[in-house]
Structures are given as C-alpha cells and as structure tokens.
Amino acid sequence: MARFGPLALPRIADTPLRAHWLGCALCVTIALASQTVAAACGGPALLYAVLLGACLHTVAVAPDCAPGVQFCSRSLLRFAVVLLGTRVSLADAAAIPAAAYLWLALSVIATIAFAAWLGRRCGMEWQTGLVAGAAVGICGAAAAMTVSAVFDARRERPIPVGIIAALVTLLATLSALIYPLLARLMAWSELQASWLIGGTIHDMGQVFAAGAAISAHTATLAMTVKTLRIAMLVPVALTAANLGAAPGARRLRLPWFLVAYVLVAAAANSGAMPPALRSALDQLSQTGLLVAMAALGTTLSAGVLRTSGPRLVITILAATALLIVLVSSGSRLLHG
C-alpha cells in the first residue's frame, strides 16, 4: 500500500499575493461572523467586528497574517471611504435653513476641538482626541477611520481607532433606544426630534432607526440633518492632514482618497450616477468598512485597552454631552 508523506504546501509569504491573502481572509471571516451575530442577536455589526477582531489579536499579528491585516486597515479602508461619497445628498441638505446649518457646523467644529483639547489634558496625543471628536461630531466609526487615515502611517504610536469606533458605535446604539422614548416623554415635534437625532447620534444606521421609531417623516428629516454633518468629513479630514504634517513639510496636503470622495459625491449628486449603481456602491462601502473595522479590531490588545480605554471613555462622553447641548440650543433656528 502506497504511503504518502506530509503535503508540502508553499509558504504563504513566497509571493506578494500570498503575503496578503491569509490576513485578508481572516478579516473577511471576522466581518462575516459579525454580520451573522448581528442578524441573530441584533445590534451593530461594526461593534461585533471590533470585539471579534480583538479576540483574534494574537493570530492577526502572526507574520503570515500581519501584511493582509495591514492592507485591510489602510488600503481597503481608504477605498471604502471613497465610496462613502455616495451617501452625501445635497438636495436633502438644501431643505435645512442656512442659519441652522451654520450652527450645526460650528457645533461640530467646537466638539472636535474640545475633544482634541480634552484628550490632551487626559494624557493622550491630540490626534487621538481629534479622531474621537470627529467620530462624535460627524459620523461615528466611519469618521474615526477616515480622519485617522490622513495621519502619517509611520506614527510610532498608532491611534486606537478600534476602541474609538467601538465606543461611539455602542453609544449610538444606546441613543437610538433612548431618543424615541425621550421624544414621547418630552412631546417633541417631528422637526425637533429629527434635529436632535440627526444632529447628535453618531452613526447613520442608528439615526435612521431612532427616527423611524417615531415616524417615517422624522426618519427622513433626521437623515437630512445627518447628511449635513457628513458633508463636513472632507474639510475636517483635510484640516487634520495639514495639522498632522511634519514640521517644515508642505502644509497643503490633499490625500488622494479625499479627492476621490469629493468626485464620487459630485457624481452621485449630479444625476449621472444611476440609483441602482449608487445603492450598490453604498453597500460595497459598508462592506469594506466592516472588513476594515475587523482589521482595526485585531490591533487591540490588553495593554492598549488598559492605557487608552478609560481616557477615551471620558473624552467621548464629554464630547457627546457638549454636542447635545450645542445642537439643542440651535433648534430654534430651524424655523428660519
């Protein structure tokens, strides 16, 4: 009877392609698992992706996996950010009075600046506080990943984007449950409810869920307000890129993926992009962000959680409280 020796498989890292595929497969598997858990148990898949990724930290840092994980957390992330431009709706944004939009923009800027300052006071780098502020002020995990991506990838201390994204996603989920109850208790009008929901909840999905729990019209108005915040992603990220430039470097930097984001948003709002294609690209963006989030989750370790976790909780909660106060005080501007 013939006997066979061990099957000789080529090493993963023999070629550039094989150097990436195992880490990419790990991140895709985590993303699929997070979607399965979300469908079965409810809750945001992004949060589950971070938690599952953190559980596989020791696997992700293995030499065969690390290149692919890094690809997903950087290159794939930037590609997904580009496709986020399909979510910007200028027609919906035009329905909000200019004074209200200006107040909302100032509220977002104040929130981000406050988070950067508070993060520094708490012993973190100002870049970490700024990323946390962008997550609170603009669009949650997507903003955190976008703004962190514009900073120099050669930083000695990486920004704990996974923790930031997990915290704001959890906070947004809790807000989506609380806001509809508050709307009934406080007898908010649909306009008031949509302004507060769209102006303060971090993630788009939770904005829609909170608005829909009140009425379909509230959900539509809340998504419109949220669109105004998303429109600030490019100027904030561009400002962060220039603030984070090395001393003596050219100050004006236009990261390629932000330029591409603007072009995609322009195409989506010009009427040149068919609705079916716009929907497909939006879904592709969400899938890419989920895989990137899984990759970022694998960077979390006990040491990172111990050193950054409590300070980020304080920063994010304080920034969220400030945003709620500022947005609430501007609700009277909705009537023009």
> Is the distance from CB of 315 to CB of 124 less than 8 angstroms?
yes
pLDDT for the residue 57: 80
Is pTM, for the whole model, over 0.85? no
pLDDT tens per residue, range 264-280: 888 888 888 888 998 89
The more confident residue out of 142 and 103 is 103
pLDDT at 334: 65
pLDDT at 132 over 80: yes
pLDDT at 200: 92
Question: Is it the case that residue 1 has pLDDT exceeding 80?
Answer: no
Longest Cα separation, the chain = 88
Question: What percent of the chain has a predicted confidence (pLDDT) above 70?
Answer: 82
Q: Nearest-CA neighbor of 194 among 264, 77, 104?
A: 104
Residues 6+ apart with CB under 8 A from 286: 80
> Which sign, positive or negative, has the C-alpha torsion 277, 283, 287, 288?
positive
Instruction: For residue 130, give both structure tokens.
Output: 């700024």
Exposed / middle / buried, residue 329 (Cβ in 10 Å: 0-12, 13-18, 19+): exposed
pLDDT tens column, 136-163: 999 887 788 888 888 755 555 677 887 8
- Within 10 angstroms of residue 263's Cβ, the number of other Cβ atoms is 12
What pLDDT shows up at residue 32? 93
98 C-beta neighbours (distance < 10 Å), count: 10
Query: Who has greater pLDDT, 154 or 129?
Result: 129
Position with higher pLDDT, 8 vs 73: 73
What Rg, from alpha-carbon coordinates, does the chain have?
Answer: 21
| Angle, vertex CA 114, rays to CA 299 and CA 89, nearest 5 | 75
Specify the range with the lowest mean pLDDT, choosing from 78-87, 116-125, 237-246: 237-246
User: CA-to-CA distance for 119 and 66, rounded, in angstroms?
Assistant: 29
Element (H, E) at 261: helix 256-269
Q: Could you tell me the pLDDT band of residue 10, with boundaries at 50, 70 and 90?
A: very low
pLDDT more than 90, % of the chain: 15
d(CA 325, CA 302): 34
Look at 239 and 204; give whichever has higher pLDDT.
239
What are the DSSP calls for 129-171, one per residue? Answer: HHHHHHIIIIIHHHHHHHHHHTS-TT-SS---HHHHHHHHHHH
Q: What is the pLDDT of residue 13?
A: 44
Segment of 71-85, 223-237, 274-288 carrying the highest mean pLDDT: 274-288
Closest CA to 294 of 40, 26, 65: 26
Terminal Cα distance for the chain, rounded: 88
pLDDT of residue 335: 58
The per-residue pLDDT of the chain, averaged, comes to 79
More confident: 202 or 132: 132
Of the pLDDT bands very low, low, confident and very high (cuts 50, 70, 90), residue 302 is: low
Per the CB < 8 A criterion, the answer to whether 203 and 169 are in contact is yes
Is the pLDDT at 188 greater than 70? The verdict is: yes
Q: Tell me the torsion sign for CA atoms 204, 210, 216, 218.
A: negative
- Among residues 216, 260, 253, 297, which one has the least CA distance to residue 34? 297
Q: List the chain domain ranges.
A: 75-287+302-335
pLDDT on residue 12: 44
Contact status, residue 129 vs residue 117, Cβ threshold 8 Å: yes
Q: Using CA atoms in the order 84, 90, 92, 97, what is the torsion angle rounded to 10 degrees? A: 130
